[in-house]
């Protein structure tokens, strides 16, 4: 059985009836940028995250950039983030003029190693950007404690972690601000680019909203220069409908993950379980295999699509060669970049599809033919 990596068509079939009339109504209302649809989604998403404010923006990368700029991060500052994330995280830091400082990841959780974080702090450090990678909450207890001791800002990169939890709190409610991407393939995704910043700080929310809209205080009156990065009404309509399904989709992802866990344990492969007292939302289901190139090719031959997140840890990228990092500076991220493999994961994946993936994977790691 062929299994795709994600299947957005299955989701559309389920949403079509509810979504199409709302899209038509939004077009007929004639408000394409901002307006009621955007305000409604923003208030629903803020409530979902358990914070006071949500500012819809153009995409997740801009959300990070705008949050950092809103907090006053600028040239001369250093901002610490994880070595193993998508480049958008570090790009957003560089966009503010600040210097990116990478730290290695924890070998068990794949999220920022808090001991490495402590060592990376200097007098120039202004902020920490932990990433809830793959949908697994970072160690926010330790990170927010360290940040408070050193008076640093925390901006969560929650682009892969809509609905993830630690205790009774959602990811997105721990930092001074948190950033979400609604890229189509994310757990909550639009039909195009979109993103949001959430925060409990009303002044910060106001500043970010202005920054995202040319620093505007009134039409053609601008307090400072900003950028154009706004959430459009059609995306807000799509996101608002999808938000009402998110809990159900997350539970389905978690059910699929449990089935993977059992099969992977039998194969002796690492299982990406929950953090204690936390809720992993499985944006990606990631394990590690020896001889990955061959395993991935065998799976592909069996019709199983997989991904690699990410094949080159950020400090090892050509884009960051000027930082003069060495592979040895990031032993875990550098080793894992050759072993990580992401298996098909989406809410509509069936138990039969997961069986097919696991059978093909068992054959591939044994070096047997399926």
Non-local (6+) Cβ contacts of 82 within 8 A are 89, 102, 103, 105, 111, 112, 129, 130, 131, 133, 138, 333
> Which secondary-structure segment (H or E) carries 314?
none
Question: Minimum Å distance from CB 88 to ligand PLP?
Answer: 4
Q: Is 59 in the site for ligand PLP (CB under 6 A)?
A: yes
> Which of 46, 73, 140, 159 lies at the binding interface for ligand PLP (CB under 6 A)?
159
Contact residue for ligand PLP among 131, 164, 246, 360 (CB under 6 A): 131
* Residue among 62 and 298 whose Cβ is closer to ligand PLP: 62
Residue 89 sits in the site that holds ligand PLP (CB under 6 A): yes
Name residues contacting ligand PLP, limited to 1-20 (CB under 6 A). Answer: none
Q: Is 160 in the site for ligand PLP (CB under 6 A)?
A: yes
Smallest separation, CB 30 to ligand PLP (Å): 26
Give the shortest CB-102-to-ligand PLP separation in angstroms.
14
**Structural contact between residues 141 and 94, judged by C-beta atoms closer than 8 angstroms:** no
Q: Judged by CB, which is closer to ligand PLP: 337, or 353?
A: 337
Which conformational region is residue 113 in: left (phi greater than 0), alpha (psi within -120 to 50 degrees), or beta? beta
Does residue 235 touch ligand PLP according to CB under 6 A?
A: no
The smaller minimum CB distance to ligand PLP, of residues 60 and 315, is found at 60
200, with CB counted inside 10 A (0-12, 13-18, 19+), is middle
Where is 148: in which H helix or E strand?
helix 140-150
Residues 175-214 that bind ligand PLP (CB under 6 A): 181, 183, 193, 195
- Report the first-to-last Cα separation within the chain, whole angstroms: 12
Overall residue count recorded for the chain in this entry: 370
Pick between residue 57 and residue 357 the one whose CB is nearest to ligand PLP.
57
Nearest Cα residue to 74 out of 147, 146, 149, 127: 127
- Dihedral-angle region of residue 81 (phi above 0 means left; psi in -120 to 50 means alpha; beta otherwise): beta
Query: Which residues here bind ligand PLP, judged by CB under 6 A?
Result: 59-61, 85-86, 88-89, 131, 157, 159-160, 181, 183, 193, 195
């Amino acid at each position: 059985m062929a299994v795709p990596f994600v299947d957005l068509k299955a989701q559309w079939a389920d949403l079509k009836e509810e979504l199409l009339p709302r899209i038509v109504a939004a077009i007929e209302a004639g408000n394409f940028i901002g307006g009621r649809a955007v305000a409604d989604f923003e208030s629903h998403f803020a409530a979902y995250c358990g914070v006071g404010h949500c500012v819809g923006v153009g995409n997740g990368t801009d959300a990070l950039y705008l949050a950092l700029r809103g907090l006053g991060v600028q040239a001369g500052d250093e901002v610490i983030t994880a070595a193993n994330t998508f480049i958008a995280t570090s790009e957003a830091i560089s966009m503010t003029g600040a210097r990116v400082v990478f730290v290695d990841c924890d070998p068990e959780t794949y999220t920022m190693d808090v001991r490495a974080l402590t060592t990376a702090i200097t007098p120039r450090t202004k902020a920490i950007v932990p990433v809830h990678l793959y949908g697994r909450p970072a160690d926010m207890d330790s990170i927010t404690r360290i940040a408070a001791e050193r008076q640093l800002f925390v901006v969560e990169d929650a682009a892969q972690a809509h609905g993830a939890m630690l205790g009774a709190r959602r990811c997105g409610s721990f930092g001074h601000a948190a950033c979400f991407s609604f890229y189509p393939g994310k757990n909550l995704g639009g039909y195009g680019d979109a993103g949001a910043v959430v925060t409990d700080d009303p002044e910060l929310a106001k500043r970010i909203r202005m920054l995202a809209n040319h620093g505007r205080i009134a039409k053609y009156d601008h307090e400072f220069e900003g950028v154009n990065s706004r959430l459009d009404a059609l995306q807000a309509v799509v996101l608002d409908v999808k938000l009402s399904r998110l809990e159900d989709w997350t539970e389905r992802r978690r059910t699929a993950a449990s089935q993977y866990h059992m099969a992977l344990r039998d194969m002796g492969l690492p299982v990406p379980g929950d953090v204690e007292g936390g809720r992993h939302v499985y944006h990606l289901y990631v394990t590690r295999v020896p001889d990955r190139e061959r395993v991935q090719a065998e799976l592909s031959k069996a019709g199983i699509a997989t991904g690699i997140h990410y094949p080159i840890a950020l400090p090892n990228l050509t884009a960051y060669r000027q930082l003069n990092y060495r592979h040895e500076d990031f032993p875990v991220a550098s080793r894992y970049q050759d072993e990580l493999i992401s298996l098909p994961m989406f809410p509509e994946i069936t138990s039969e599809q997961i069986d097919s993936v696991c059978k093909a994977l068992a054959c591939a790691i044994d070096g047997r033919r399926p």
